[in-house]
Amino acid sequence: MQKGKGRTSRIRRRKLCRSSQSRGVNESHKSEFIELRKWLKARKFQDSNLAPACFPGTGRGLMSQTSLQEGQMIISLPESCLLTTDTVIRSYLGAYITKWKPPPSPLLALCTFLVSEKHAGHRSLWKPYLEILPKAYTCPVCLEPEVVNLLPKSLKAKAEEQRAHVQEFFASSRDFFSSLQPLFAEAVDSIFSYSALLWAWCTVNTRAVYLRPRQRECLSAEPDTCALAPYLDLLNHSPHVQVKAAFNEETHSYEIRTTSRWRKHEEVFICYGPHDNQRLFLEYGFVSVHNPHACVYVSREILVKYLPSTDKQMDKKISILKDHGYIENLTFGWDGPSWRLLTALKLLCLEAEKFTCWKKVLLGEVISDTNEKTSLDIAQKICYYFIEETNAVLQKVSHMKDEKEALINQLTLVESLWTEELKILRASAETLHSLQTAFT
């Protein structure tokens, strides 16, 4: 047999291909990471488990330098490396924060420090960390309005709320920024601009780790639970892993232990929580492919779209669903329509003579084959409606990518969200078809 043509050779090549697809390119040699390592070492942090790398699909992350076993410590970052409100209060900003009334929020304190230190440039003691932070973010609040208009309706509404929240945050903080003028030679308006605060807000919102709530008299009563964790925050999210993460009061370090195993040179992930893709997009600015928690939301308007307008009991049915919490979080998932969605449809499809059985529907009881079949038919119509809508949006996004090159990164992100939702809807359509065969 010719060398390299056998079964063993083919298996070896397939493994090598899979490995090369998931293996990242080590970036430890880059100047920004060399400086960060020096900075961390000066703060008593040393690590031999992980190395910065660039991975296909996820971008910059951390790669295992050795095999990691279940329960093993991935990283232990000393308190001296964390950027918290304590850091801010101890800094040159402390006196200004302490005397400002009403007290600034913990979030404002962190954002102010980030903007100020970024402005300081090479003079900042936090420069090595600031250098590796993203220059821009992809949360909906950062997207162009015409891109936001392409989002699913429920996400678009939340994105607009997010933008309004950040704008209000900026407007309400301007007087405090003005009080900092003695610290700067330049006008504070040019330093603490909306774009600068937006960058800082996104940095905290997308990268902070959780600490046990603390309370300081010089800060407002809002929960003080955020800390920025240099190097540790390079760990990317995967919905398929679990970790144990918390601040250890005994070692005074933020520690992460894995409940998974990692081979050498694999990307090491953590899990931000069991979030669907719309939540990940809103809070972190990315979409997770094959996310088991991903779903497609059904609004009240779409829920009743294919129900008979002649149903005199419809308002009462809607009222019952609302009173019992069945009007929201109705979804299609990888396994088909959710139990909540089917339950809501079964109640809405109750015939007049069966209406008194609505409590049994909410308890999961079968009322009749007719009710079961009708609710599945309506679910299928809704699913097909979403598939048609999703294909239309994807086509529109594709045309915009050709016409608006400057927005291609934002459009690609939106495209990935809709693509994942289309996969879910197709899977749901297949499940519904299988369920309906029981009634044919």
CA distance 144 to 121: 28
Q: Which of 295, 311, 261 is nearest to 421 (CA)?
A: 295
Whether the pLDDT of residue 94 is over 80: the answer is yes
Pick from 83-87, 336-340, 377-381, 436-440: least confident: 436-440
- 132-184 pLDDT, tens digit each: 999 999 999 999 999 999 999 999 999 999 999 999 999 999 999 999 999 99
Task: List CB contacts of 230: < 8 A, sequence separation 6 or more.
Answer: 36, 39, 40, 77, 81, 83, 128, 129, 132
pLDDT at 24: 87
Reading the block at residue 268, the tokens are: 């090491």
Whether the pLDDT of residue 323 is over 50: the answer is yes
DSSP 67: -
Residues β-bridged to residue 42: none
Kindly report the length of the chain: 440
Q: Which ranges constitute the DSSP H helices of 298-368?
A: 300-303, 314-323, 339-348, 358-362
- 228-287 pLDDT, tens digit each: 999 999 999 999 998 999 999 999 999 999 888 999 999 999 999 999 999 999 999 999
pLDDT at 322: 95
CA distance 61 to 285: 16
Contact criterion met (CB below 8 Å) for 114 and 191? no
CA distance 94 to 276: 39
The gap from C-alpha 331 to its chain's centroid, in whole angstroms, comes to: 18
Give me the chain's average pLDDT, please.
Answer: 93
Residues β-bridged to residue 331: 297
Domains of the chain, CATH where assigned: 83-228 (3.90.1410.10), 296-438 (3.90.1420)
For the whole model, what pTM was predicted?
0.90
pLDDT at 46: 86
pLDDT at 310: 87
Model confidence at 21, in pLDDT bands (50, 70, 90)?
very low
Model confidence at 17, in pLDDT bands (50, 70, 90)?
very low
Reading the block at residue 155, the tokens are: 């996400």
Contact criterion met (CB below 8 Å) for 2 and 101? no
Task: List CB contacts of 29: < 8 A, sequence separation 6 or more.
Answer: none
The residue whose two tokens read 């289309």 is 422
Q: Phi and psi (nearest 5°) for 407? A: -105, 10
Whether the pLDDT of residue 7 is over 80: the answer is no
- Amino acid present at 163: R
pLDDT at 6: 53
User: What is the mean pLDDT of the segment spanning 302-308?
Assistant: 93
Whether the pLDDT of residue 329 is over 90: the answer is yes
CA distance 37 to 148: 38
- 184-226 pLDDT, tens digit each: 999 999 999 999 999 999 999 999 999 998 888 899 999 999 9
Q: Which of 251, 256, 290 is nearest to 272 (CA)?
A: 256
pLDDT at 260: 87
Q: Cα-atom radius of gyration of the chain, to the nearest Å?
A: 26
Q: What is the largest CA-CA distance in the chain?
A: 83
Whether the pLDDT of residue 48 is over 90: the answer is no
Preceding amide of 102 cis, omega within 30:
yes
User: What is the mean pLDDT of the segment spanning 8-24?
Assistant: 48
Bridging pattern class, strands 236-237 and 269-270: parallel
Q: Which of 300, 267, 297, 303 is nearest to 282 (CA)?
A: 297
